Amino acid sequence: MKDIYRFSDPVEVEIIARVARHWIDDEVLDLDRVKEAEAIIKAGLVLFPTRAFMVMLYSNFLWDVLDNPQVRSGTGGGAMGGVARVGV
């Protein structure tokens, strides 16, 4: 916990996590940068465990970033693993 940057609020966590993400091209994310963005969000969850914004931010990250096929193939399925999307 002592090595975690003290974010001022959850919005700052979101901004820094979004800046940390980097695309290699239009559809492929840099896997190392994705891991950094996830670590930033997890640090925010430690600092703001009762803030609903942080839970929504992390769930959106898992859905939007880790469910990306290029990321999933490089990280062993991501956090959503075998979950299949059903068209609505």
Residues 54-83 have pLDDT tens digits of 999 999 998 888 776 555 555 444 444 444
In a domain? residue 2: no
55 inside domain: yes
**Amino acid letter, residue 26:** D
Q: What pLDDT does 75 receive? A: 46
What pLDDT, on the 0 to 100 scale, is given for residue 12? 95
Instruction: Say what the pLDDT of residue 88 is.
Output: 37
Number of domains in the chain: 1
Which pLDDT belongs to residue 64?
84
Strand, coil or helix: what is 57?
helix
Full-prediction pTM beyond 0.85? no
- What tokens does 28 get? 């492929």
Helix axes 31-47, 10-20, angle to 10 degrees: 170
Tell me whether residue 52 is in a domain. yes
Q: Is the residue at 3 inside a domain?
A: no
Angle ∠(10,67,88) on CA atoms, nearest 5:
100
Residue 34: which domain range? 10-74
